[in-house]
Each structure stands twice: as C-alpha cells, then as structure tokens.
C-alpha cells in the first residue's frame, strides 16, 4: 500500500466513522435511556428499520428532510410505545418482546415501504468541515451528517441530566430499585414507558440518518443488525451517554474500513470487512462481561446484566 | 389428569389459538387500510395454505425447515436460554453441506447424504454452542451474541460462496458447485414433499421424548427452571446448557443442509430468507414444546405458502406475511399475562375451549 492510498483509507475511515456511526450513536443513546429505567429494548433494531422507512416517506412526501426526521422519531416512539406498554404487563418477558418488535418493525417497514424503493427523497444536509483542504478525498470525508452534532449535544445533555436533574434521578431510581421508587410514590410503569418511548424517538433519528443521509435511500437491506450492535454497545459504554459517543465512532470506523478500502481500489474480502463490526461487538462483550459479578454501572433492575 | 394439569393443558392451547385469531383480525384491519378486502385475505390465507393437494404440499415443504429452526429456539429455551441465532446456524449448516464435496468425494447414495447432513449438523451445533459457552463462561447475553453470530455466519457464507468456492458456471447468482445427483434428497413417495419433512417431524418427536422421558432431558429442564437449584443438587449446569445449545444448533444446521440438498442443490443466497427468524415465532407459539412445534410449523408454513397468493390476487406487498407474523408474535407474548385467568374454568373444561374451536375458520 502506497502512502497516498493509506492516507485515503485513513481519511475514509475517519469520515466513515461519523457517517456510519450516526445510527449507532442514536440507537445506543435511545437504548441507554431505556435501560437506565430498567428495561431492555432489543426491538430498537426493528425501530431503526421502521423509522428509516417512515423518515424517508416523510421527507419524500413533504419535500423537507427535517419533517422526515420528525416522522422517523415519531414512528420510532410509536413502536417503542408498543414495546413499553406490552412489557408493563405482568409476566411478559422484555427480551422476547424485543425480538417480536424487531420482526414486527421490519415487517411493517417492508410492507409500507414497498412504494418507496425507487424514488429519491430530499436528504439531510451536510456540514462541511473539510473546506480548508484542497484534496477532494478529505473534503468528501469530512462532510458530515447535520444530525450528528445534534447527537453529540444529546449525549452531553443526557449525561448531565442523569446526574443533575430531577428527571434523570427519577429514571435512574426506577432503573436501580423499583421498590424504592414505589415507596417514594413514583409510578415505575409510567417512568419506564416514558423512557422507552423517548428511547424509541432517539433511535428513530438513527433511522433517519440511515435513509436520509447514508446510504441515503430506502431499501430492505438498509439495516442489518446496526440496531442490535448498538444495544450491545451500551453494555460496552457502561450505560454512560458520553461513552456511547466514543463507542459509536469506534464502531462506525470499523464499519467504514471495508468501503474505504474498496474505494481505494482494494476490493478483496469485502464481506469479511463487513463482518468486522459484529466480530468487534462480540469481542467487546466477551472482554467486558463477566459471569461472576454484576457489571459496574449497570442499572440494578436490568435482567440482562445479571 | 387432575384439574390443574387439565387447566394448564387447555390454557397452553387456548391462549395461542386466541392470540392467532386476534392477530388475523388485526391483519384484516391492515389489509383493509391497503384497500383490499380482509375477508378475501383470510380466505386466501387458508385456501393458499390448505385449500388443495398442491397447497398442502407447498405448506408442508415450507414447514420442514421451520420445524428444525424452531427446535433451535425451543431446546435452549428449555435449558433457560433465549437463543435467536437459528438463521446463522442454518446458513453454516447449508454451507457445510455444500462444502463437503470440495474436500472429498462422499460415497453416493444415502450414506453420502447422511455424511452431508452430519457435517451440517456439526457446523450448526458448534455455531450455537459458542453462544451457549460465551454465556456460561463469560456472562455474555446469549440472545445478542447468537444474533451477532448469525450476521457473521452470513458474511462468511457470502465471502466463500461468492469468492473462493464459487462455481464459475453460476453467473447471475453466485453459488457453490451443485451437489451430485446421487447426493440429493428426493421426494417422499409420489408426493411433492421432500424427505426433510420426515427429518423435521422425527426430530421434534425425539425432542419431546428426550425432554420427557430421559434423565438428561429432565436435568436440562431443571437447569432451565432454576439454574441455582440445579447447581445445588449437583447438576452440571454448564455442560447441560451448552449441550442443549448444540442440539438446537444441530437442528438448524440440518435444516440448512436439507435446504441445500433437497431444494437449492447448491449453497447460494436463496438459503438466507429468514427461515431462522420464522422459527423463533414458531417455537414461542408452541411454548418451546418440540412436539407442539409440528402443527405450528405447518400452520406457519401454510401462511408462507399463501403469501404469494395474497401478493398475486390482492396485490399486497410480499412482506404482508411478515407483518402478520410480527403482529402474531407480539400478541402471543402479551397473552402470557393472561395465563391463569381463563374464565369459567371451574365449571368445566368445555365452555372455555368451544369458542376457540368455533372461531377457527
């Protein structure tokens, strides 16, 4: 590999980290707030696909990408509401329900999204951070999704709110001890449903970045497990919103290696590079999890962290 | 049968059936929104699934892999794990089946076929056992890891099938070299249903026999009921759980092998059509009881068979069956909350069951 090609690949990966990482960021922030309230939503994979479709439809019919973004968030919240309500019934397992929501979300998206496969929708604008450079590679790599800065702000706000606001404390209390919350007169169910819905809205923004920014169209293969990776990513991030940001960039970078190599003319092993984020997720789960103790930072009510 | 056991048995059938009917009703609303007649959709669903000999054959053909992928969920579930990586195990199974002739020439005839299916079973078993082992030794959530393994399996599959193992003659659809004629799995007698169905039924029956009548199966259920108790009475929880995962994975692996040897004749992308995911739902509807998987898989195989009819006659998108399955899944899980609340049970078992039976179209 010549230095020039190497440079292109590195720049491609850095730019790709933001481009590919945006859905990871939003879904993991959504899962973070859901899990902080003591519930798991594996269905965010379904939310991601469904909201990507809804966002694309919204942008296509209204002509404005931002209405599409709102539609994506709202549809994500709607699907999450179903999850939140269903899991509030006694004896309903949130992991199993998450699988059901995953399948339902994908089914609904494919069903309703059939007419959307051909057309082009207005895209979320880019923010150009590469204006200083004369190299077209750099300029292309550093034009980033306008939603991404919002995601950064959201991560900061969430981190601050969990620590300092009444709302944040209530969510954490419900997630750490349902009994304490009940004793204090807080409705555990209401808080959990609200947190799940908020998580669905945030994850829906990830769907919008898929269909309205990168890859920027609607098709049935749009999401293949990014939502699920993001759920696993929250464990890696130890339920801290700011860590979710770094983790999303790391995974985005891993996902961008394949395309970056390909655009630099190195095509071999494309599928192997595509598998990299999944393998990395597994590796990280293996390293961070432990059977002997509860994970540090895990909400106590969470079934998954055992 | 005492009253409690009777009540459990009735509830185990009544709630899933009622949920399916509710799901069909909701699906009707959905269809109506699309501008098609719900009554026609319901009629087509059942005609397309079980209307005549042809549709029966189609349904049974589709049910065969579902039975096996449902076992991938059911058996680990009885050991207390929610494994949803059946798709991945199916893909590696199909791959292993197609890969054997690359390594050596298997004897032709049923011996060769058996070798192919064994390779498929071993590959599937290892794949899911990894998820079980990671959970037992590293505390990694098996639901997430098994699904991630599934994506990795698909990526590896595509890498080999479209790369080093590609049959140069497969132009539009990258495939491995087709299996020799003598290695393929044929149809059962005069019917247009391949022997995979017999494999599915046999393994489901064996599954229930194993769980009910062997001490190993009983121990597995104890571990699934309460892992701590199992450890206290000295059961090797890790070995039992990982074995259950391996058995489940072997079933999906065989499903993949059968799909290759009986349907596609070589490993290609047609293998990856979500059979593993559909198996999750089948297993949950059957409450992870292997023998109950048989009728449920036939029902869902039938829905799959009817899907193309809905598409042709009513112009519904091909994902309409997926929507129906998704709705059914959510309702069936939610119905769990109603368990133990079946009305009028104390009078007699009959009135509770009748409305369900009469409501089935």
CA gap B100, A237 in Å, rounded? 42
3-state secondary structure of B48: helix
pLDDT greater at residue A37 or residue A291: A37
Mutation target vs B (from A35, A50, A86, A99; most B CBs, 10 A cutoff):
A99
Q: Which of A101, A108, A278 sits opposite B323 (nearest CB)?
A: A108
Extents of the domains making up chain A: 3-288
pLDDT greater at residue B183 or residue A141: B183
**Averaged pLDDT for residues B214-218:** 96
3-state helix, strand, coil in chain A (%, to 5): 70, 0, 25
Looking at chain B, how many residues does it have?
A: 361
**Averaged pLDDT for residues B189-196:** 89
Q: How many CB atoms sit inside 10 A of residue A269's CB?
A: 15
Portion of chain A with pLDDT greater than 90, in percent: 59
Are residues A306 and B144, on separate chains, in Cβ contact within 8 Å? no
Question: What does the mean pLDDT of chain A come to?
Answer: 90
DSSP sequence for A222-248: S-SSHHHHHHHHHHHTTT-HHHHHHHH
Residues 6+ apart with CB under 8 A from B224: B77, B78, B79, B80, B81, B244
Task: Report pLDDT for B350.
Answer: 47
The two structure tokens encoding residue A175? 């997630």
**Averaged pLDDT for residues A212-239:** 88
- Is the pLDDT at A77 greater than 80? The verdict is yes
Task: Report pLDDT for B354.
Answer: 42
Residues of B in contact with A111 (CB under 8 A): 30, 316-317, 319-320, 322-323
Residues of A in contact with B339 (CB under 8 A): 91
3-state secondary structure of A284: helix
Residues 6+ apart with CB under 8 A from A281: A229, A232, A233, A236, A251, B148
Residue labelled with tokens 């069951």:
B353
As to burial, measured by CB atoms within 10 angstroms (0-12 exposed, 13-18 middle, 19+ buried), residue B302 is: buried
Q: What are phi and psi of A171, to 5 degrees?
A: -60, -45
As to burial, measured by CB atoms within 10 angstroms (0-12 exposed, 13-18 middle, 19+ buried), residue A163 is: exposed
One of 2.20.28, 1.10.3470, 1.10.10, 3.30.1660 is the CATH number of A3-288, namely 1.10.3470
CA gap A22, A13 in Å, rounded? 14
Q: Which of A231, A271, A278 sits opposite B158 (nearest CB)?
A: A271
Residues of A in contact with B148 (CB under 8 A): 225, 228-229, 232, 278, 281-282
Task: Report pLDDT for B344.
Answer: 53
Task: Report pLDDT for B286.
Answer: 93
Task: Report pLDDT for B343.
Answer: 65
CA gap B187, A178 in Å, rounded? 57
Alpha helices in B259-319 (DSSP H): 275-285, 290-314
Three-state SS string over A108-139 comes to: HHHHHCHHHCCCCCCCCCEEECCCCCCCHHHH
Residues of B in contact with A86 (CB under 8 A): 330, 333-334
- Is the pLDDT at A292 greater than 80? The verdict is no
Of the candidates B73, B230, B42, the residue with the CA atom closest to the CA atom of residue B143: B73
Of the candidates A64, A68, A65, the residue with the CA atom closest to the CA atom of residue A76: A68
As to burial, measured by CB atoms within 10 angstroms (0-12 exposed, 13-18 middle, 19+ buried), residue B16 is: buried
DSSP at A301: T
Task: Report pLDDT for A303.
Answer: 65
Question: Model confidence over B39-87: pLDDT tens digits?
Answer: 999 999 999 999 999 999 999 999 999 999 999 999 999 999 999 999 9
Residues of A in contact with B144 (CB under 8 A): 42, 228, 231-232, 285
The two structure tokens encoding residue B132? 């079980």
CA gap A68, B285 in Å, rounded? 36
- Is the pLDDT at A242 greater than 50? The verdict is yes
Q: What are phi and psi of A127, to 5 degrees?
A: -105, 125
Please tell me the distance in Å from A47's CA to the nearest CA on chain B.
Answer: 13
A35 near A239, Cβ under 8 Å?
A: yes
- Is the pLDDT at B331 greater than 70? The verdict is yes
- Is the pLDDT at A93 greater than 90? The verdict is no
Residues of B in contact with A292 (CB under 8 A): 139
A195 near A171, Cβ under 8 Å?
A: yes
Three-state SS string over A66-84 comes to: HHHHHHHHHHHHHHHHHHH
CA gap B71, B332 in Å, rounded? 18
- Is the pLDDT at B360 greater than 50? The verdict is no
Residue labelled with tokens 């098996």:
B142
Task: Report pLDDT for A250.
Answer: 92
- Is the pLDDT at B11 greater than 70? The verdict is yes
CA B105 to chain centroid: 31
Size of interface A-B (CB pairs under 8 A): 138
Could you tell me which residues are beta bridge partners of residue A143? A128
Q: What is the dihedral of CA A160, A162, A168, A171, to 10 degrees?
A: 160
Does an H or E element contain A144, and which?
strand A143-145
Are residues A114 and B319, on separate chains, in Cβ contact within 8 Å? yes
Residue B348: pLDDT band with limits 50, 70, 90:
very low
Residue A223: pLDDT band with limits 50, 70, 90:
confident
The two structure tokens encoding residue A244? 């979710």
Cα-Cα-Cα-Cα dihedral sign, residues A235, A238, A244, A245: negative
Q: Which of A92, A105, A235 sits opposite B337 (nearest CB)?
A: A92
Does an H or E element contain A145, and which?
strand A143-145
The two structure tokens encoding residue B211? 């769980």
A278 near B151, Cβ under 8 Å?
A: yes
A238 near A296, Cβ under 8 Å?
A: yes
B193 near B200, Cβ under 8 Å?
A: no
Of all residues in chain A, the one with the smallest CA distance to B34 is A112
Of all residues in chain A, the one with the smallest CA distance to B83 is A96
Of the candidates B97, B95, B71, the residue with the CA atom closest to the CA atom of residue B153: B95
Q: How many CB atoms sit inside 10 A of residue B2's CB?
A: 6
3-state secondary structure of B175: strand
Of the candidates A49, A40, A63, the residue with the CA atom closest to the CA atom of residue A219: A49
Task: Report pLDDT for B352.
Answer: 43
**Averaged pLDDT for residues A195-218:** 95
Residues 6+ apart with CB under 8 A from B291: B204, B205, B207, B208
Measured N-to-C along each axis, helices B290-314 and B38-50 cross at an angle, to the nearest 10 degrees, of 120
CA gap A55, A147 in Å, rounded? 13
CA gap B305, B349 in Å, rounded? 34
pLDDT greater at residue B4 or residue B173: B173
Cα-Cα-Cα-Cα dihedral sign, residues A176, A180, A186, A188: positive
Q: What is the dihedral of CA B115, B117, B120, B125, to 10 degrees?
A: -100
């Amino acid at each position: 590999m010549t230095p020039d090609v190497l440079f292109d690949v590195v720049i491609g990966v850095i730019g790709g980290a933001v481009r590919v990482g945006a859905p990871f960021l939003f879904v993991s922030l959504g899962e973070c707030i859901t899990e902080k309230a003591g519930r798991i939503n594996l269905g965010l994979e379904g939310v991601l696909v469904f909201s990507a479709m809804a966002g694309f439809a919204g942008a296509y019919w209204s002509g404005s990408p931002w209405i599409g973004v709102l539609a994506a968030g709202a549809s994500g919240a709607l699907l999450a509401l179903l999850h939140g309500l269903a899991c509030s019934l006694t004896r309903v397992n949130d992991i199993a329900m998450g699988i059901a929501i995953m399948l339902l979300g994908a089914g609904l998206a494919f069903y309703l999204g059939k007419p959307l496969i051909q057309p082009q929708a207005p895209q979320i604008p880019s923010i150009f951070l590469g204006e200083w450079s004369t190299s077209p590679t750099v300029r292309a790599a550093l034009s980033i999704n306008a939603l991404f800065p919002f995601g950064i702000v959201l991560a900061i706000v969430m981190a601050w709110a969990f620590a300092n606001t009444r709302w944040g404390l209530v969510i954490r209390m419900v997630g750490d001890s349902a009994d304490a919350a009940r004793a204090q007169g807080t409705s555990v169910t209401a808080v959990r449903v609200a947190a799940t819905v908020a998580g669905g809205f945030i994850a829906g923004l990830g769907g919008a970045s898929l269909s309205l920014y990168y890859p920027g169209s609607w098709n049935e293969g749009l999401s293949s497990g990014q939502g699920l990776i993001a759920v696993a990513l929250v464990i890696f991030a130890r339920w801290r919103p700011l860590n979710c940001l770094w983790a999303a960039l790391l995974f985005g970078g891993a996902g961008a290696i394949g395309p970056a190599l390909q655009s630099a003319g190195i095509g071999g092993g494309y599928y192997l590079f595509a598998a990299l984020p999944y393998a990395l997720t597994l590796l990280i789960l293996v390293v961070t999890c432990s059977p002997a103790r509860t994970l540090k930072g895990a909400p106590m009510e969470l079934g998954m962290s055992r | 049968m005492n009253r409690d056991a009777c009540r459990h048995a009735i509830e185990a059938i009544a709630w899933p059936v009622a949920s399916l009917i509710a799901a069909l009703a909701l699906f009707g609303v959905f269809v109506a929104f699309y501008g098609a007649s719900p009554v026609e959709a319901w009629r087509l669903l059942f005609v397309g699934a079980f209307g005549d000999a042809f549709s029966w054959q189609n349904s049974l053909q589709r049910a065969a892999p579902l039975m096996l992928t449902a076992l991938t969920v059911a058996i680990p579930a009885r050991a207390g794990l929610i494994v949803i990586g059946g798709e991945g195990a199916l893909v590696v199974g199909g791959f292993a089946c197609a890969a054997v002739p690359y390594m050596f020439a298997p004897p032709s005839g049923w011996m060769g076929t058996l070798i192919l299916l064994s390779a498929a079973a071993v590959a599937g078993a290892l794949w899911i056992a990894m998820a079980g082992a990671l959970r037992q030794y590293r505390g990694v959530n098996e639901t997430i890891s098994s699904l991630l393994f599934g994506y990795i399996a698909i990526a590896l599959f595509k890498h080999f099938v479209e790369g080093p193992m590609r049959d140069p003659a497969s132009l539009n659809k990258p495939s491995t070299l087709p299996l020799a004629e003598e290695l393929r799995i044929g149809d059962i007698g005069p019917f247009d249903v391949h022997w995979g169905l017999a494999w599915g039924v046999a393994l489901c029956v064996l599954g229930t026999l194993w769980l009910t009548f062997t001490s190993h199966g009983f121990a597995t259920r104890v571990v699934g009921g309460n892992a701590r108790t199992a450890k206290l009475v000295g059961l090797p929880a890790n070995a039992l759980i990982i074995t259950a995962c391996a058995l489940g994975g072997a079933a999906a692996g065989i499903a993949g092998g059968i799909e290759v040897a009986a349907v596609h004749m070589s490993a290609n992308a047609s293998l990856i059509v979500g059979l593993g995911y559909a198996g999750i739902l089948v297993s949950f509807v059957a409450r992870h009881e292997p023998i109950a998987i048989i009728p449920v898989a036939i029902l869902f195989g039938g829905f799959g068979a009817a899907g193309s009819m809905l598409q042709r006659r009513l112009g519904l998108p091909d994902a309409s069956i997926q929507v129906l399955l998704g709705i059914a899944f959510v309702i069936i899980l939610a119905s769990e909350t109603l368990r133990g609340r079946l009305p009028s049970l104390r009078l007699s078992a009959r009135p509770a069951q009748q409305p369900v039976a009469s409501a089935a179209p």
